[in-house]
Amino acid sequence: MSVRKIIIDTDPGQDDAVAILLALASPEEIEVLGITAVAGNVPLHLTEKNARIVCELAGRTDVPVYAGCDAPLERPLVTAEHVHGKTGLDGPDLPDPTITLAEGHGVDFIIDTLRAEPAGTVTLCPLGPLTNIAQAFNKAPDIIEKVQEIVLMGGAYFEVGNITPAAEFNIYVDPEAAKIVFGAGCPITVMPLDVTHKALVTKDRNDAFRALGTKVGVAVAQMTDFFERFDKEKYGSSGAPLHDPCVTAYLIRPDLFTGRHINVEIETGSELTLGMTVADWWRVTDRAPNAIFMGDIDAQGFFDLLTERLARL
């Protein structure tokens, strides 16, 4: 397997943090060209700071972190402090970053990188609202055909919604951006709630992170403990879902996931179902497939991979 060059587009977020740590811990499979922050779980000034905190936690001060868009394309920002806490990274007590933001806008970094690298060699990994990616495609349509793949966390079919009864948070926050991305024609792989709601941080799995005894292991245990409180109450499950690391785990172990190549459209018109991913899981339309929509995960294999890789940092 060759090393995949990726850009992580993110709104950390405790689960974003774990996704980034997994990528940085896996140099045999993943080379992180840069991280672009976007407004989402919390406002941009916090997500870009949190991304730098996470790189520093991993000892990877060489990874450039850019600030991207501070609001969705056409709507006011909706945030999720009720899940992630006031900072977006509540749980561990991590120091302010010493690394500074890279110069330039995150959207321009995405454009310049895709233009500079050979076509079909850069994978985009959006872990938040799709604003930065859509903005880059709008500004520089020539980069669309150069994308190797977009592997994103967002949407839902059987699990329907987590921010409204019909919509998953990342897509709901910027549905117009999601519509642009899903309509762009790039290969897309989607990690929806159908997958992530099976990736539950049970007590045993949380204990395994803590038992690493490292700074990273303890911080990840504290992060996953934090949103646990909220999610367990909400879902009544044995643990909280760990959404975003499914994206970076897929780049390392695609065999942990199964899904279908189907058509996925984004609802942007309805008040009631705004941001819904209308996924043709049963292939009842003749709309052309535009995404591999995952439906299942080997959850224990996923957590074993996470624990084994985080132990390296």
13 binds Ca ion (CB under 5 A): yes
Q: Out of 127, 190, 266, 310, which residue is the one contacting Ca ion (CB under 5 A)?
A: 127
- β-pairing, 257-262 vs 291-297, is antiparallel
Nearer to Ca ion, 13 or 97 (CB): 13
Distance between CA 55 and CA 21 in Å, rounded? 8
Active site residue 243: yes
d(CA 220, CA 241): 14
Rounded Cα distance between 32 and 44, Å, is: 21
Based on CB atoms, which residue is closest to Ca ion, 10 or 222?
10
Note the helical H segments in the chain. 14-24, 44-57, 81-84, 106-116, 131-139, 169-173, 175-182, 193-196, 203-211, 215-235, 245-252, 299-310
- The catalytic position among 82, 84, 243, 261 is 243
* Contact string 150-189 vs Ca ion (x = CB under 5 A): ----------------------------------------
Give the nearest distance from C-beta 25 to Ca ion in angstroms. 18
Structure tokens that stand for 310 in this block:
């985080």
Instruction: Identify which of residues 16 and 56 has a Cβ nearer to Ca ion in the complex.
Output: 16
Q: Does 126 bind Ca ion (CB under 5 A)?
A: no
**Alpha carbon of 32 to those of 19, 20, 97, 244, 267: distances in Å?**
12, 9, 19, 16, 32
CB closer to Ca ion, 188 vs 262: 188
Q: How far is the CB of 92 from Ca ion (least distance, A)?
A: 17
Residue type at position 170? N
For residue 157, the surrounding DSSP H or E stretch is: none
Toward Ca ion, which CB reaches closer, 244 or 280?
Answer: 244
Q: Give the number of residues in contact with Ca ion, rule: CB under 5 A.
A: 6
Among 106, 128, 259, 275, the residue binding Ca ion under the rule CB under 5 A is: 128
**Across the beta sheet with 4-10, what order do the strands follow?**
65-67, 30-37, 4-10, 122-126, 147-153, 188-191, 291-297, 257-262
User: Which among 115-123, 129-137, 241-249, 255-263 is the span making contact with Ca ion, rule CB under 5 A?
Assistant: 241-249
Contact between 241 and Ca ion (CB under 5 A)?
no
Q: Is 16 in the site for Ca ion (CB under 5 A)?
A: yes
**Is residue 200 involved in binding Ca ion (CB under 5 A)?**
no
Question: Which of these ranges, 16-24, 49-57, 161-169, 212-220, lies near Ca ion under the rule CB under 5 A?
Answer: 16-24
The answer to whether 260 and 284 have CB atoms below 8 angstroms apart is no
The span from the CA of 226 to the CA of 14, in Å, is 9
According to the binding rule CB under 5 A, does residue 242 interact with Ca ion? no
Between residues 91 and 146, which has the closer beta carbon with respect to Ca ion? 91
Choose the stretch contacting Ca ion; rule: CB under 5 A; options: 30-38, 66-74, 115-123, 238-246: 238-246
DSSP-derived 3-state class of residue 107 = helix
d(CA 19, CA 8): 9
Q: Which stretch binds Ca ion (CB under 5 A): 13-21, 51-59, 143-151, 174-182?
A: 13-21
Q: Which of 102, 10, 12 is nearest to 53 (CA)?
A: 12
Q: Which is nearer to Ca ion, 83 or 102 (CB)?
A: 83
Q: Is 10 exposed, middle or buried (0-12, 13-18, 19+ CB in 10 A)?
A: buried
Binding site for Ca ion (CB under 5 A): 11, 13, 16, 127-128, 244
Which residues are identified as catalytic?
A: 243
